[in-house]
């Protein structure tokens, strides 16, 4: 139940684009088509941690965001 996290500093947003732009971390656990649209968004927080459990996003290797995905190795 997502509502149980609201009093623990987690903000639940009905708008994915706004949530992504303000997020410190993003966890993608679904390969739903709407997550692929995040490729075109620019995050104002350059230190965002992205955990992509389905490898939905195509993040460039020189991206400033910290991107982690299943089956993807990135050297620091």
Residue range 3-41, pLDDT digits in tens: 777 777 777 777 777 777 778 888 888 888 888 777 766
pLDDT digits (tens, 9 = 90+) for 33-75: 888 777 766 666 667 888 889 888 887 777 777 888 887 666 5
CA distance 29 to 18: 18
CA distance 38 to 63: 14
Residue 76: pLDDT over 60 = no
What's the rounded Cα separation, in Å, for the pair 1 and 60?
34
Query: What is the pLDDT, as a whole number, of residue 9?
Result: 75
Q: How do the domains of the chain map onto residue ranges?
A: 24-71
Answer with the residue of higher pLDDT: 2 or 49. 49
């Amino acid at each position: 139940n997502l509502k149980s996290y609201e009093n623990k500093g987690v903000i639940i947003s009905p708008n994915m684009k706004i949530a992504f732009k303000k997020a410190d971390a993003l966890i993608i656990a679904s390969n739903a088509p709407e997550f692929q649209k995040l490729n075109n968004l620019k995050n104002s927080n350059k230190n965002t941690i992205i955990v992509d459990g389905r490898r939905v996003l195509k993040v460039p290797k020189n991206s400033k965001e910290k991107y982690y995905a299943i089956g993807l190795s990135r050297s620091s």
